[in-house]
């Protein structure tokens, strides 16, 4: 039985022209499935930011329509307030978005304007700041923060709204490598709660491994959209967009053409399995809340609740970011590994284990409770 996917955001023949006559969007018709992880790719000036500002109602189209949850977006005060309760937008430059003096005040602004009880506002602020690792900076003046810290505050402000659609424009720009991985971990958490997550990125490797749907935008037009494998197989589209082929995809194609494999991995570790033989994997121990016994091998953590647990218990962590893949790499080298993992994020591990199993390698998983 075919499962019909619903559409959360849709544009129909969307056109937008800036003052001065520059046409930024040209007949953009795109459907964003509910609960999907979407990556928009394309060169600078392609119209990604402009399109995102239509999704959130910041801009009003010159022609065409924008629909949220099958209803056309109304550019009235009431209509935009209703839209922005559900659709939050993290801008590329946090200075364009942050306007409060103190960190926690900025994060609280959105929930406060939803007329929520103060206890609920405080809880949302606490949770959002912990998710982005800024809980210890809550009382600091915004102007004392680095660019990357301001970016975290902007993300926290969006998370505090509990959005149904989270849109992030070049979210990893200005962040250190650990926070980049943490941001995608947060995106997985938000997505697992049922929300749709939309990003723009120049990182084709991440778009290939993370997204369910990839959209290529060039000079205000959609050139292609589809699964990562479909889109990054379109050489003519990549040439027009000035995009490189993800290394993982290139290796997949090389293996296929040379008859060495018909299995396509989404991450480097799974692709490289095609070059390795005789692997005797170790065991993955998945550590659940409440477990206080011994662990084996190197230790990783994935998920906000698990991070809080390890910090509370003073657990020494080896892999604080990209932990699922790094633990699996240890296991494929014949070692055991332990992973503190939120149960709501089991699907992230399951997908990576299925990638490995497709190569004929089954990893033994044991839960520690």
Question: Domain of 285: which CATH number?
Answer: 3.40.1010
Same domain, 328 and 236: no
Which residues fall within 8 angstroms of residue 71, CB to CB, at 6 or more apart? Answer: none
What pLDDT does 360 receive? 81
Q: pLDDT tens across 109-152, in order?
A: 999 989 899 999 999 999 999 999 899 999 999 999 999 899 99
Q: What is the Cα Rg of the chain in Å?
A: 22
> Which residue range forms the structural domain that includes residue 350?
280-368
pTM: 0.88
Q: Does 184 share its domain with 319?
A: no
**Residues 220-250 pLDDT 10s:** 999 999 999 899 999 999 999 999 999 888 8
Contact by Cβ (8 Å): 196, 168: no
What does the pLDDT read at residue 358?
Answer: 81
Could you tell me if residue 318 is inside a domain? Answer: yes
Specify whether the CB–CB gap between 57 and 73 falls below 8 A. Answer: yes
List pLDDT tens digits, range 43-98.
999 999 999 999 999 999 999 999 999 999 999 999 999 999 999 999 999 999 99
**Mean pLDDT, the chain, integer:** 91
Written as six digits, the tokens of 340 are: 């503190």
- Sequence-distant (6+) residues with CB within 8 A of 37 are 187, 191, 196, 197, 210, 211, 212, 213
Beta bridge partners of 166: 88, 197
Q: Residue 122, class by beta-carbon neighbours within 10 Å (0-12 exposed, 13-18 middle, 19+ buried)?
A: middle
Percent of the chain with pLDDT over 70: 95
- The number of domains in the chain is 2
Q: Are residues 307 and 227 in the same domain?
A: no
């Amino acid at each position: 039985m075919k499962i019909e996917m619903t559409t959360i955001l849709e544009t129909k023949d969307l056109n937008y022209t800036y003052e001065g006559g520059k046409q930024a969007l040209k007949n953009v018709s795109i459907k964003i499935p509910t609960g999907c992880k979407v990556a928009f790719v394309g060169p600078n000036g392609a119209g990604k930011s402009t399109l995102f500002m239509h999704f959130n109602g910041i801009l009003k189209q010159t022609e065409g329509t924008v629909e949220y949850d099958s209803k056309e977006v109304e550019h009235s005060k009431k209509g935009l307030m209703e839209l922005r309760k559900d659709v939050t937008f993290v801008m590329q430059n946090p200075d364009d978005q942050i306007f409060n003096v103190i960190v926690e005040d900025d994060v609280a602004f959105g929930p406060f304007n939803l007329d929520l009880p103060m206890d609920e506002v405080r809880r949302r602020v606490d949770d959002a700041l912990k998710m982005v690792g800024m809980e210890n900076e809550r009382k600091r003046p915004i102007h004392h923060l680095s660019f990357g810290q301001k970016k975290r505050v902007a993300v926290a402000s969006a998370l505090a709204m509990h959005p149904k659609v989270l849109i992030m424009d070049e979210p990893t720009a200005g962040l250190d490598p650990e926070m980049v991985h943490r941001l995608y971990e947060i995106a997985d958490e938000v997505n697992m709660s049922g929300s749709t997550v939309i990003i723009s990125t120049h990182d084709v490797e991440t778009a290939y491994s993370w997204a369910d749907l990839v959209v290529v935008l060039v000079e205000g037009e959609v050139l292609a959209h589809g699964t990562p494998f479909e889109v990054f197989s379109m050489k003519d589209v990549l040439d027009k967009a000035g995009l490189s082929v993800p290394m993982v995809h290139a290796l997949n194609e090389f293996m296929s053409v040379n008859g060495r494999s018909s299995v396509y991995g989404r991450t480097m570790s799974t692709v490289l399995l095609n070059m390795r033989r005789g692997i005797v994997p170790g065991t993955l121990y998945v550590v659940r809340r409440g477990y206080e016994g011994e662990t084996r091998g190197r230790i990783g953590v994935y998920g906000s609740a698990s991070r809080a647990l390890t910090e509370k218990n003073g657990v020494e962590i080896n892999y604080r970011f990209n932990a699922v893949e790094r633990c699996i790499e240890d296991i494929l080298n014949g070692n055991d590994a332990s992973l503190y993992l939120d149960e709501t994020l089991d699907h992230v591990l399951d997908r990576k284990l299925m990638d490995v199993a497709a190569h004929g390698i089954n990893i033994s998983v044991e839960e520690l409770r």
